[in-house]
């Protein structure tokens, strides 16, 4: 039997197992769901990988209290390279229960797709790993390691903190981060670029307290007006983000994000235009993007005829690979301070920064993955960017400087990850499992 036939025959089992895993409500927030749901999901993953040769599979408690499933499976050749397989078993909460057309924790087939929370992100990727390894059987000529974490979605960073202190446990030559997806069903892609970010809160103070806008308005310095003027410098008339010192002209070299697709995905209202001079991909993956997340000032209801003495805004600046968070932070702070009018007092608190990530695409693992995807799908593997960040990728890159980090998975755009009515295309599980199996064969062969 060919590898493709092997994977195909494993699909009924894949569906059964995905249904078991989706039924576990493994939202890593004990205020929303009992912690036992996550414990059961961890145990489920541990047992499945122990069954296929990860004899030492066990749980490691990470600094945020979540448990990661860790294991390894050596091959007979001690010189063989090591591949680390990553996924996470925790899921986003269902959010608006009423918006789900099927029960969120019951895998349900509708029009050929399988619906359920986590069906794609990331339980579908766990099933992908299992199917790939089962299809290969004993015939895997690389050393395998596994880490399936339990708190990716909460952003509490348990595994990120754990990795540097346990570097040998997860050390590998190639790291397959299975938590992204293809450009579309049937169109293979690796995610090669993730944005970093700088979050700041800027506070403006101008007066000791509120003063009547009739008696004082005019000459009195208005903190809210000052803040608005400062925030306005972050964009030009076309909507380009304009932070002096950051390059807002770069172009995206990988696969494009089709404009119509983006307009539909983002839910633009009729007649509302996209921002910026560049393409959607340029704006999303190659250039800085400032977003004002919130403003503290009197709400309309309850506001009075007073000049506002103090106002604050939280700003989120996304940055592409090639820009460090330190330089972005310095540029943003300098611009906000420089733009403050009338001598108002400005304080800026930096809340969080994150590094952008760029995968290397010239190593043996990337080439093996590209060839495997092309063999599985009959189409070349495209390079995608992602607008958000996966901080763990940077941790892997810094902890294992020589390792290749490759981001793939079953989370294509129709999967609606993090939203109600999440689903997975079974064909993506099948084709990506085949891709991963072919990758392991090719990568092993390359090293000989």
Tokens representing residue 276 in the block: 């910026």
415: nearest Cα among 426, 431, 405: 426
Catalytic positions are 90, 152
CA distance 328 to 241: 12
Tokens, residue 338: 């420089």
* Closer residue to Zn ion, CB minimum distance, 21 or 122: 122
Peptide bond into 122 cis (omega under 30): yes
Q: CB of residue 100 vs Zn ion: minimum separation in angstroms? A: 19
Which range touches Zn ion (CB under 5 A), out of 11-19, 138-146, 179-187, 273-281? Answer: 179-187
Considering only the stretches 173-181, 186-194, 400-408, 422-430, report the one whose residues sit in contact with Zn ion under the rule CB under 5 A: 173-181
Distance between first and last Cα of the chain: 25
| Closer of 118 and 188 to Zn ion (Cβ) | 118
Give min distance, CB of 223 to Zn ion, in A: 41
CA atoms within 13 A on the CB side of 113: 19
Q: Which is nearer to Zn ion, 89 or 162 (CB)?
A: 89
* 146 backbone dihedrals φ, ψ, rounded to 5°: -135, 135
DSSP β-bridge partners for residue 200? 315, 350
CB-wise, 121 or 422, nearer to Zn ion?
Answer: 121
Question: With CB under 5 A, what is the number of residues at the site for Zn ion?
Answer: 3
How near is the Cβ of 304 to Zn ion at its closest, in Å? Answer: 46
> Least CB distance from residue 121 to Zn ion, whole Å?
4
Q: Which is nearer to Zn ion, 248 or 423 (CB)?
A: 423
Site residues for Zn ion, window 45-74 (CB under 5 A)? none
Establish if 122 lies at the interface with Zn ion (CB under 5 A). Answer: yes
**Residue 179 interacting with Zn ion (CB under 5 A):** yes
Collect all residues with Cβ–Cβ distance below 8 Å to 129 and sequence separation of at least 6: 85, 87, 146, 178, 433, 436
Does 121 bind Zn ion (CB under 5 A)? Our answer is: yes
Q: Which residue has the tokens 């393409």?
A: 279
DSSP state of 186: T
CB of 69 to Zn ion, least distance (A): 15
Distance CA 355, CA 394 (A): 7
Would you say 145 and 84 are in contact if contact means Cβ atoms under 8 Å apart?
A: yes
Q: Which range touches Zn ion (CB under 5 A), out of 94-102, 178-186, 210-218, 425-433?
A: 178-186
**Span of 116-124, 198-206, 276-284, 345-353 interacting with Zn ion by CB under 5 A:** 116-124
Return residues touching Zn ion (CB under 5 A). 121-122, 179
């Amino acid at each position: 039997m060919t590898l493709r036939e092997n994977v195909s025959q494993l699909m009924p089992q894949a569906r059964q197992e995905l249904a078991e895993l989706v039924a576990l409500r493994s939202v890593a927030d004990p205020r929303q769901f009992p912690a036992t749901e996550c414990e059961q999901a961890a145990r489920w993953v541990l047992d499945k990988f122990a069954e296929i040769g990860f004899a030492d599979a066990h749980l490691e408690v990470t600094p945020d209290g979540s448990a990661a499933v860790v294991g390894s499976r050596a091959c007979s050749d001690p010189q063989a390279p090591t591949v680390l397989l990553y996924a996470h078993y925790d899921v986003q909460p269902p959010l608006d229960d009423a918006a789900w057309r099927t029960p969120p924790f019951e895998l349900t087939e509708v029009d050929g797709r399988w619906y359920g929370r986590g069906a794609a992100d990331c339980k579908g990727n766990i099933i992908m790993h299992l199917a790939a390894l089962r299809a290969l059987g004993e015939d895997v000529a690389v050393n395998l390691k596994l880490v399936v974490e339990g708190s990716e979605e909460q952003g509490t960073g348990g595994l990120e903190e754990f990795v540097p202190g346990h570097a040998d446990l997860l050390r590998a030559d190639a790291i397959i981060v299975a938590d992204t997806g293809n450009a579309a069903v049937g169109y293979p892609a690796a995610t090669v670029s993730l944005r970093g970010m700088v979050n700041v809160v800027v506070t403006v103070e101008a007066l000791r307290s509120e003063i009547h806008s009739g008696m004082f308005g005019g000459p009195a310095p208005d903190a809210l007006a000052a803040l608005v003027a400062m925030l306005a410098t972050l964009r030009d008339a076309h909507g380009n983000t304009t932070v002096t010192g950051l390059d807002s002209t770069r172009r995206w070299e990988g696969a494009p994000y089709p404009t119509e697709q983006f307009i539909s995905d983002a839910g633009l209202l009729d007649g509302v235009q996209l921002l910026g001079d560049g393409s959607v991909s340029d704006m999303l993956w190659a250039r800085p993007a400032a977003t004002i997340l919130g403003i503290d000032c009197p709400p309309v209801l309850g506001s009075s005829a007073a000049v506002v003495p103090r106002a604050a805004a939280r700003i989120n600046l996304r940055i592409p690979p090639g820009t460090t968070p330190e330089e972005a932070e310095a540029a943003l702070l300098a611009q906000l301070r420089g733009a403050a009018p009338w001598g108002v007092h400005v304080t800026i608190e930096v809340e969080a920064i994150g590094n952008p990530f760029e995968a290397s695409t010239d190593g043996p693992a990337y080439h093996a993955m590209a060839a495997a995807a092309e063999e599985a799908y009959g189409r070349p593997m495209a390079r995608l960017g992602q607008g958000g960040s996966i901080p763990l990728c940077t941790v892997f890159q810094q902890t294992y400087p020589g390792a290749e980090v490759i981001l793939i998975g079953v989370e294509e755009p129709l999967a609606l990850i993090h939203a109600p009515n999440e689903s997975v295309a079974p064909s993506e599980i099948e084709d990506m499992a085949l891709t991963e199996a072919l990758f392991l064969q090719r990568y092993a062969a390359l090293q000989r």
